[in-house]
Chain A
């Protein structure tokens, strides 16, 4: 089921909220959430729900076992714990590897060795959300192994944590210590203020998805069709960068708003990322839950920046490679990770933002934003391309943009497409700047508004959606990951 469908908004969500609040006990409420989450998830294919259940049961059992061993200190017990953790990691990574990477790896081996192994490919479509819930179950087991978290003995609570439908398909990736404590206690009815914010979050998310993300998606297609035109590569890069942001942050907004209807708070996943001044800040503001997961469970255990420069460089490359590959099986996802690592290291060596701030103060900070943004859009294009031919066509057109802007090459299409791009990105940029000034997202500012601006916002969202939204929406991009 998808958030932007009428069946979700008009039937599914109101029914679940009603059933949830008429249910008297916490256990029953969580059962309502589990059942509705499984229906939500299994809408496309019931087998996916079985996979989710299976994975949850295995990790719940292993985590429980590790916790039971936590009270004992002997060396033998420690080895047992390690073994159990290893089983959990192998199981989860194996699941991900089987569904997400197996066919790709076999294809690569076949290509490089010229031995036809394609018969070994399973061609099973990737179950949605598997990358998200696998990371959640993994973090649960690891946290318990590290004694950072006490597991719940109640499987219902645990399954609610894993399957909770607002964040199931495309995050935010939740840690057990953030969500489970909210699920084990009886949630009071939400306040009227929380309801108001939840409603706005859902509306704003839908608006961003249907009006901006989808139309930017159309624009990306137009740019792709005109990629031979000089300069269009640049427009394509900016359009896709904003499409991805609008699409993914829209999902996060709807997810957070929906969760709030059940008096559950989900962590934000974005914080005006395109106004960052350096790459590290960007990853602290972009897909925050994945970035912090990778940092806490890969980068820091590898040693982070504590083991010398060379080891640190290796750690950054390795961590970002995993970050890239998490998005999918493809050489360009890996390249995206490696490119991001290179930019991070480059900024360590030449801290452009700090130098600019040092010499130019506030203006320097503002100037550092478009500089890192230009690195970001190039990275996004590596993320976007599927084949080397795509990449070369894009790069060729991208680097010719200077000639077009300076008038050396004429390109009518560039300006036509550029105008539409401006139309679709400017509102997002303006609302982000408004949020950035208060170190928040635009949606957080809503509650502080007076009634009149709120009415204006709703009217704008309604009519722009009615006129500008396509009747058939694209799926959320992150569903494929």
Chain B
């Protein structure tokens, strides 16, 4: 029971601290989300429809966060940037998923071609 109370008080303290005034500018979070967006662009997320959608969300939310930071709402901006980062990371993985699926399909087609007809003679 004692440990139980300790846990609750830690949670309560955390909640109070989060509501404290004057959150710092979330430079690190901004850098992390921008980095993830660049990574998504590099793996060609724009060319994969599902990935492109999340890349777009990530960009829009980064812009929203910039506006919030200008207004001084750093705490809210930090969360919006975390959303952007989650979207950008998802865009990266969806692009890779698409590439892996295509590669596997191609390999299976090659096997079928070999088995059904044109045998490869060098």
Q: Do A and B come from one complex?
A: no
- Mark B residues whose CB is within 8 Å of A: none
Q: Which residues of A contact B (CB under 8 A)?
A: none
